[in-house]
Structure 1
């Protein structure tokens, strides 16, 4: 009989690629990971790993067992979910959340959870959507709040259940004294954008290209509050979502973009955890909190 914890290590290695990455994710030492995978090889009776330079890779047997490991972990999670349905709050719910959702949606959602299910423990970790969705697949978190930009559909990973919370308009942000009236007027401006490789960055660059120029991305920052400060100081321009201004007045001048684009805000969980009452309670609270966050958005005149 295979030991489920060792199967998870193999599954994690298949996802993350290196023993050190698995060790970091699960708070083990690489030597412990190696020892446990060696025991799994003995249980399997076949070679699961082979050296590749200083790293290891899965053999064909290893890839087959890793696929079975994923299914075994899904069954384990489904069983735990059914048990939890008889005793809600039995397990904490760990949520990966992007910055704007943490600012605008999560506080109200947590208040709803506290009122409806006071024994339920909710844990938050801020992650960019790309990382949050990966960690959801890898079982590092139970629920993700993420975004999808218009025209940039994210890959649909098997085993994930997505639910739209709502839409969030995206506008052009310029300094209070900036005379610009449209995207084309910002050809010579310094831009602040999110890091390369993110959906937000790809989308923002595409808007500039559609206007006929390559943006001068002088500042690359993950923190959207820092974007807003640079724009307010007249040192950069940006495209920013309305949720950033929830409950406040934008300190910048906001201009409409062509087509009035809006990003989709969604939550996602593993389909294997559909029966977990705690996750369902958090998702319900997020659905109820999003309209209030939308109504409290404030934009500059």
Structure 2
């Protein structure tokens, strides 16, 4: 069989063009995309819509955990494929609750207080379909900066201009006391300053209203005493229809260690022994009552159930699914 020059040329050109397309396609491959999707997750608790809002993450050194040898801590973390060499990655979450009558934010995140890996509550709230102006109530689990700094912007203005701010009276008495702040060790004074600066615009607008443990802060939302981490640390129990959820703040910082052994405390606890008693009680109740848990430092979205296991307790995270199914 003979092939003419023109046939050969056309074939060679086709191969060349094909090869060129391949090279061109490879050259035009877009760069890897390093950003995540907006951090929000929505579910229903009875008639209440709960939206988890991701503030970001930080790393906690394992040496901050107290009551367990480092070797044992690393064993627990390694079993969950948690690489703790550069610190345990710890999420910071807030929770938005639409009751049908109120739009309630539990905790406000860290804003710019802890660097660029945090401070995303406001942007994720907007991404979830709401605006800060829609929020009518902000409930604080406690006044540590990773929960409170997001209340105010860099100009010292309220991020939630129409909201009443509520924190426990005990936490307010501690963190907002200027004499106590002045007497505190120098290393601790910035924590007082950040809390006072964040709360100030709400106080000035006469929209700061402390609560005490046991108060029904809004219909179906009851403040529970979970102190120990701070003097007035609180959690919020939601009840709607036959469903319930406890929104806790810093009851657990390291799920990889503190579920296995709830007697492990953390350096940030103001009263470690009380924090342990609180954690043991809260975990026991969560198992017995089978209610949902929403945790500020649980892996995002921070929502799940707790069950007992051989060593202690185990976290069962919620699965992604529809917000509600029409009957």
More helix, by proportion: 1
TM-score normalised to the size of structure 1?
0.25
The structure with higher relative contact order (CA 8 Å, sep 6+) is 1
TM-score by length of 2: 0.24
User: Which has the greater radius of gyration?
Assistant: 2
